[in-house]
Amino acid sequence: MTTTERPSAIAATGYRLRLPGPTEVPERVRQAMARVMVNHRGPECRTAIGEAEEMIRPILGTTNHVLFFASSGTGVMEAALVNVAGPGSRILVIEHGQFGERFTTIAKAMNITVDTVAIEWGQAIDVVAVDARLREHAYRAVVVVHNESSTGIVGDLAALGALMRDRPTLLIADSVSGLGGIEMRQDEWGIDILVSASQKALMCPPGLALASVSAKAWRAIGQDEQRSTFYWDFRRALKSAEQNETPFTAPVSHIYGLREALTMMHEEGFPNVLARHKKLSGALRAGGAALGLADFCREEPRSSTVVVFKVPDGLEGGAIVRQLYQDHRTVIAGARNRLSGRVIRFGTMGALSAGTILTDLLHLEDALTKLGLPIEPGAGLKAATAYLAATT
């Protein structure tokens, strides 16, 4: 094996990370994370935490304190449940993709009683069906994934929040793959616990997670002083957040990286960040359609941070993934669930531009042609370019 063939050398040979997370980390963020290590209880770290919290609040759409954890997104999914629902509690999980099902799995492991609203993958959440279930039982919480990166569908959090506004039931939302690329208005929409993580539209490496908790949720948390949690205890985290600290060792380098990423987003202007994500995901969908790839989503609202294509008949998704990596070092995702082999997924989040999307389509056309799909040369690029020109 030569040096250029070794996996550790792929970054030097044009490696393109185009997954729906983790995403490419901009150079500015990498440089910020390479700063000298400091005391996690010292003024430098407290300043970084405070500035990161201040900059992420408008992206969350909240005035809440933001709780930071050294964790993956799955960790704060568990944290959201363990702080409000113990064994024997009853929750309603909306399953419209892989990560809704993960919430159900986590809850069952915690001996929480779980009811589900199962939505056909690729379709919008049936809010009327959720309302009907709420009339049947007094649930501790309704749990939903904001942006299902397994399907490309976005949940209508405003409509769900309206259902819970005058009920004691809490609304818990996972926006790991949405926050920073899709609009979020936590306070306005009535989301009681919102969780997210660093490695997607927030343009940082995996390892930093966050939670934002409403006053309604804090009242529910305060009603049970015997909650069985330690590391994930939101009460302990809030006390630290009020001092611009974390209750345990802060992921110092990740905090520096997040602060820099948020600085970049505010320099661009956050409305412009959202518009860019929507425009570029639309361009990829337009180009994919011209290559014969149908959008897996059958309804709106479609994601601005992930595009999910159906694999044409006669092909297998893994073959497309492998061809793109083998020939172009372009790394996209297939599916590790019931859609295995049937879809391919591109991340359209973070530090991407029109050039990113056009390169994706150039590589995708080449891969599909080599796999035997009849394609008009340049069709994807032409369609995406036209879409970009027509979209303001």
Mark the binding-site residues for substrate, compressed into ranges: 345
- From CA 117, how far away is CA 24, in angstroms rounded? 34
Give percent helix, percent strand, percent coil of the chain, each to the nearest 5: 45, 15, 40
Q: What is the CA radius of gyration of the chain?
A: 21
- From CA 289, how far away is CA 126, in angstroms rounded? 27
Q: What angle do CA 261, 198, 323 make, to 5 degrees?
A: 100
- From CA 63, how far away is CA 357, in angstroms rounded? 35
Task: Look at strands 193-197 and 170-174 and give their pairing.
Answer: parallel
Torsion of CA 98, 104, 105, 106, to 10 degrees: 110
**H or E element, residue 145:** strand 141-145
Q: How far is CA 283 from CA 17, 172, 338, 380, in A?
A: 18, 32, 27, 9
Positions at the binding site: 345
- From CA 292, how far away is CA 312, in angstroms rounded? 7
- From CA 287, how far away is CA 379, in angstroms rounded? 7
